[in-house]
Chains A and B, each alone.
Chain A
Amino acid sequence: MPFEWFVAIRYLRAGRAQTALILGGTTMGVAVLVFLTALISGLQRSLIAQTLSSQSHILVKAPEREARSLPLAAGTAADRVEKTPDRIRSIEQWQQVLASIERMPGVVAATPTAAGSAFASRGEASKSVAVRGVDDQSFARVIEIVPKMRAGTFRLEGTTAVIGGVLAADLGVGVGDKIRLATPEGRGDVFTVAGVFDLGNKDVNQRWVLVPLRSAQTMLDLAGGATTIEVKVDDVFAAERMAQEIQRSQALQADSWMKLNEQLLVALRSQSASSWMIQVLVVVAVALGIASVLGVSVIQKSREIGIMRASGTSRGTIQRIFLLEGAIVGALGAVTGGLAGTAFALAFANLATSPNGEPIFPVDLTPGLFLAASLVAIVTGTVAAWFPASRAAKLDPAVVIRYG
């Protein structure tokens, strides 16, 4: 066994109370790191997942028309330029646009939608709804709707419709019942409810009526058009960059979920920032603890260090002994703290569960987290030991052997 390891391990084992103290501190620190990171990242992941449950990553639509002023008589000036009220407009040559978006690297799926508003009625009951004509196959690849069907199936053909659970309750309909959809312009048809979904968003569950693309095109007077193309990408945080790319290359308006949920992202970012700050402070506290305990231990062992130096131990070896003590404490603390943090996180997740047994606070315990926490602990231990170790290395053997 290398000499430094032998001495460092023996010192740690012999200095029971001191070792327990710094090991306890490191364990707590790592536990907080693991727990907090697992909780925050789990929470954020679940918030994002919830946000994206009924939303595509990128929404592509026809660009807004510029308001233009009419030619004015000489000498007069327009004091107000008013935007023309925009009717539902289709994306020009959407099939080509769709095909080129699908070819982009990073795009998982894209689906055309013809969307507009309408009234859904059954008997006396009538509700204002958002009609979305979709191609069921590609739509299911963009929005994970199939596992979220509460009744019936997600299949759109002819005059079938799939509606949200709240709307179904409002209208008092179930699978197999018929509803009438009508636009404000008076076009409309009768549809058979093929399925009821719950996408986890009340507004969506209350307003969405999914119908076959062709039916929506007819009803909304779009004649083969699509108002939006919805895109799913593999890295959700790359959505904004890819939206800008689409906007540039297609001359269309493309909005990422990040842009549409800016407030959420700002909230998540400040949450991450505050959690980071807490973790940095914890790491600093652990480092100070290790440094002070090892500092005391160096003072207590001054004479022994002098004896080792007199017996041919170099300054470098003495320094390495104490650096190793810090590193070993960090490594052990990483193991015990990792276990404690995992226990805290799991206990916390089990403490608060929703009625269906799913944790309200999901925790993200990944191998990467443990690896990172271990690395932080070992580096912190070593860095914290630097000052005491340098001090030990600088001791003058002649002085400490005589005076301690």
Chain B
Amino acid sequence: MRWIWIDKFIEFQSGRHAVALKNVTLAEEHLHDHFPGFPVMPECLMIEAMAQTSGILVGEAKNFQEKVILAKIKKAVFFDYVKPGDTLKLDTKIESIAPEAASTSGKITCADKLIAEIDLIFSHIDQNLAGKEFPEENFVFTADTSVFESLLRDVVSGNARTGADSEQK
């Protein structure tokens, strides 16, 4: 089972830029302990949400032919808390992409307030370590994409808006 930390793609420009949404809810049990009486989304999970958003953008850029693995967190700076009831917008773009790796930059906002800036580096496993075995949970997405399918459906079918006219009004 994978924790999916994004709910929907609202924009997707293949190989360039993507925007995803995540709704934060008090039904997420870890919030009851983080912290008791003061539920806030853990920063590490915000990084994971960005990793999933950026990872799918990077993976789709190569038609999901490569296994994409989060290799390095270049930067993760947080400016404000995220509370139950918040809707996060995760905006990411590919800075560089090469056969063996990709570099992304990203911003998380909530109602136009800047929450975080997260820059990541992903490695393309087949180009780097072909033939070695890795546990499935290391990968942003796996061969069994059934859980991610609903997210990918918007991307693959083009339902997530693409192109220059897809700016939020």
Do A and B share a complex? Answer: no
Which A residues fall within an 8 A CB radius of B? none
Q: Which residues of B contact A (CB under 8 A)?
A: none
